[in-house]
Structure 1
Amino acid sequence: MSTSSWLASDAQSPNGAPEKRHLRVGFIALSDAAPLVVAKRLELGHEHGLTLELSRESSWAAVRDKLLTGELDAAHSLYGLVYGVQLGIGGPREDMAVLMVLNRNGQAVTVTPSLAEAMVHTGDLREALASLGRKPVFAQTFPTGTHAMFLNYWLAAQGIDPLTEVTSIVIPPAHMVAAMEEGGLDGFCCGEPWHAVAQARGLGRTVTVSSDIWPNHPEKVLACRRDFVTRYPRTAQALVRTLLSACRWLDMPGHRAEAAGWLAEPAWVGAPRDLIAARLLGDFGRLQGRHALLPVSFFDEGVVNYPHPSDGMWFIAQYRRWGMVGDAAVAAAAQTAAAVSQTALYQAAARAEAVPVVASPAHEVLCDGKVWDAASAGDLRAYVDGFDIRAR
């Protein structure tokens, strides 16, 4: 039976047994892995015929490699990792699938205390970076990932060309704080709780959060190879239902504080509970921003979780902006994103869980004043050409 015909028939058989019951699901030590940790701690998969085995991975490259080899059935993944692999610019090319969005917001940029002070004193990032007397070094977590794209976007919004004026390096999220301590790193962009840890240790200062770069941006997704969906469609739906339940649980009063205690355990994130909890609950200290400083969002009555193809198209646009893909990728972006985003499967899972299906993409204004919405996605070439700072 094809995936599409199964989805059509599953409305009559929502409790069909999954084809594969034991799943190995990868994650990185980050606060936004909370839906997976909650799903495992509460064994939410059992209701849907699944047993989850979570596998903590050392880097996003390891997540990619294990998805490609089949060592992982699915993973907590950077949105941009999926599209990098799909396009063959983030490793070997493979047809990939985004089953659902696990969270929005929840990332940040942290710089050294001295650079943060220079930013306050000058009021200008370019002038503050010039005070270093050398080319600044910033770290992100994967070349095609959200952090690389957000860091580039943030720098360019302030008139700095990230391709020529900044040295960008890749460091796994859990190693960022150690890299700051060793010296030679001026700033980094990744997920929490590593910004909170760096700040608590006096090694860095958070200067912006990702919701100030792009409010309610897509971040981590539940990803797999597309052939997994083809071979195990009922399993894929059961996994989405399980993670939707976990995301909904995280939005209930008091549950994030409880989840912070679980995440603090060495098997999951292994950072101080109070630091995890603060950022999960949206406590950014005295930080101010152009937009509301939004905390990480996991559910919001289903608004978070729909895998909008337009989200993927934004990443393709940024890849073109920075010279990582050619015009052909932009021309095929809608087709690519429609194939990656498993919208029919997600809708079936959401209906089965009584989760509202919010299929219309949001209209958002990013930190440079540019709008990203359905119209922007509809004319992607014009959107890319509208940036002054880009690869030529």
Structure 2
Amino acid sequence: MDVTRREFLKTTTTTAALLAGVPGGWAGGVYAADGPEAPKVRIGIIALTDCSSLVMAHELGLFKKYGIESTISKEASWAVIRDRLTIGENQATHLLLGTAYAMTMGLQGSPQKPTIVPLYLNRNGQAITLTKALGDKGLKTPAQIKPLALEAKAKSSPMTFAMTYPPGTHAMWMRYWLASGGIHPDRDVSLITIPPAQMVANMKVGKMDGFCVGEPWNARAIADGIGFTAITTQQLWRDHPEKVLAFTEEFTAKNPKTVRATMRAVVEASQWIDKLENRARMAEVVSQPQYINCPKEIIYGRLLGDYDYGDGRKEKDKYYMTFFDRHANFPLRSHGVWWLSQFRRWGMVKETPDYKGLVERVHRPDIFREVAQEMGVETPREDMKKETLFDGVTFDPAEPEKYAKSFAIHSMA
């Protein structure tokens, strides 16, 4: 049969359009069998720099490359993030590490919804910001702040410190830091919950004396002249775990290929981000209103390790926020054990938790290793390791209950 040039071009155009969304290397294969079971994936994010690997996987077409039709959904708070994952409106999410455990255990207002962490999104890159008024008095450490805190408590007008969600990373960093200087976070001060993007505005109106949050909001407080960085979280715990990519256990069981395809895209985006020459473009993209909604210049500096603390200190920090380097994506199970030890320390669980059982359920290095092997990415051999935080106290994941009970300041009965 003769085909006119117009018919040929029409057919060619239609075919090209059909193949445009097919991941490289899959065209010609059996897409329905080889591809994700549920290709449409809505991914929740919070306006923080550490959502960037999810945003860039979307913007660079990496989700599409692996057969995922992604939608990025910016949410108002970590509670909304939790709820939308729980009810299935979002299938994957940017999440605080501790929230996965709270959801699995049904703690801190979470309905019980088992949740897995097969991949970390980043390490480092958070901070504790104090008001300029405290800095002007030379009060920069919890030990220095303690007399003022106890005086305020005695007057029934306690000092106020903010974090972003009770079981989350920022809450644990703030609690650990305050307690290291003799301040009990549950008895000596008021510890409140504020969504990340609202921290600076609340400090401006005098609602708090300090907060712990991810970037760029610590840098923003300095740019706005209202606060200074007392300590970064990488100074508290070098290469600590931070945000994670999470799925419900139910979704993972039903859609294992979807989960792994999503992970591949995020790992590839993480590799791209950790080439520092790409971070200017990344800052420009994630600064947009639909993502972080913050001037790119405020985001960019700390991404390079350029730290202006806002109190005269400036330094080049080589332990800036990482997304791939130094096994940043690998979900070490010992981190889950540490988290549960802090739930125990602060009375979030009343009895000894099932450390082993819970960690094996939530932390899933086995899934990460499968994806990493397919991508040629090296992974650590062990799932557990000892850690020493800034106060010199060593955490041994083999003895979490002993560790939890070793602190003079705690909220255990």
TM-score, normalized by length of structure 1?
0.90
Q: What SS class does the counterpart of residue 284 from structure 1 fall into?
A: strand
Partner of 1:86: 104
Partner of 1:53: 71
* Structure 1 residue 256: Cα displacement: 1.3
1:380 aligns with 2:392: no
Amino acid at match of 1:42: L
The runs of 5 or more residues in structure 2 that have no matched partner are 1-29
**Within 5 Å, which residues of 2 pair with 1:9-158?**
16-90=34-108, 91-120=110-139, 124-129=144-149, 134-158=157-181
Match among 332, 344, 348 for residue 366 of structure 2: 344
Go from structure 1 to structure 2 and tell me whether the alpha carbon gap of 1:253 and 1:212 turns closer, same or farther (over 3 Å shift). closer
Partner of 2:4: none
Partner of 2:266: 243
CA contact (8 A) 1:43 1:51 kept: no
Partner of 1:4: none
Partner of 2:14: none
Partner of 2:334: 310
1:260 aligns with 2:286: no
Match among 216, 219, 227 for residue 204 of structure 1: 227
Partner of 2:321: 296
Q: What SS class does the counterpart of residue 183 from structure 1 fall into?
A: coil
Amino acid at match of 1:96: T
Q: 1:243 and 1:103 mapped to 2: Cα distance?
A: 11
CA contact (8 A) 1:209 1:293 kept: no
The runs of 5 or more residues in structure 1 that have no matched partner are 1-12
Amino acid at match of 2:134: L
What's the C-alpha RMSD, in Å, of the aligned pairs?
A: 2.1
CA contact (8 A) 1:45 1:242 kept: yes
Amino acid at match of 2:403: Y
CA contact (8 A) 1:119 1:128 kept: no
* Structure 1 residue 16: Cα displacement: 3.0
Amino acid at match of 1:107: Q
Q: What SS class does the counterpart of residue 369 from structure 1 fall into?
A: coil
Superposed CA offset, 1:290-329 (max 9, x none): xx6721111015x111111211111110010011102231
Identity %: 37
Q: 1:142 and 1:86 mapped to 2: Cα distance?
A: 16
Q: 1:350 and 1:114 mapped to 2: Cα distance?
A: 48
Q: What SS class does the counterpart of residue 325 from structure 1 fall into?
A: coil
Q: What SS class does the counterpart of residue 306 from structure 2 fall into?
A: coil
Q: 2:102 and 2:159 mapped to 1: Cα distance?
A: 26
Q: What SS class does the counterpart of residue 37 from structure 1 fall into?
A: helix
Deviates more, 1:110-119 or 1:98-107: 110-119
Go from structure 1 to structure 2 and tell me whether the alpha carbon gap of 1:201 and 1:272 turns closer, same or farther (over 3 Å shift). same
* Structure 1 residue 238: Cα displacement: 0.7
Amino acid at match of 1:170: T
Aligned residue pair count? 372
CA contact (8 A) 1:118 1:128 kept: no
CA contact (8 A) 1:363 1:371 kept: yes
* Structure 1 residue 364: Cα displacement: 3.0
Q: Which of 1 and 2 has greater Rg?
A: 2
* Structure 1 residue 130: Cα displacement: 5.2
Match among 362, 378, 383 for residue 356 of structure 1: 378
1:333 aligns with 2:369: no
Match among 172, 191, 210 for residue 187 of structure 1: 210
Superposed CA offset, 1:230-273 (max 9, x none): 00001111111110001111111311121001111111101011
Go from structure 1 to structure 2 and tell me whether the alpha carbon gap of 1:378 and 1:85 turns closer, same or farther (over 3 Å shift). same
Q: 1:189 and 1:258 mapped to 2: Cα distance?
A: 27
Amino acid at match of 1:61: A
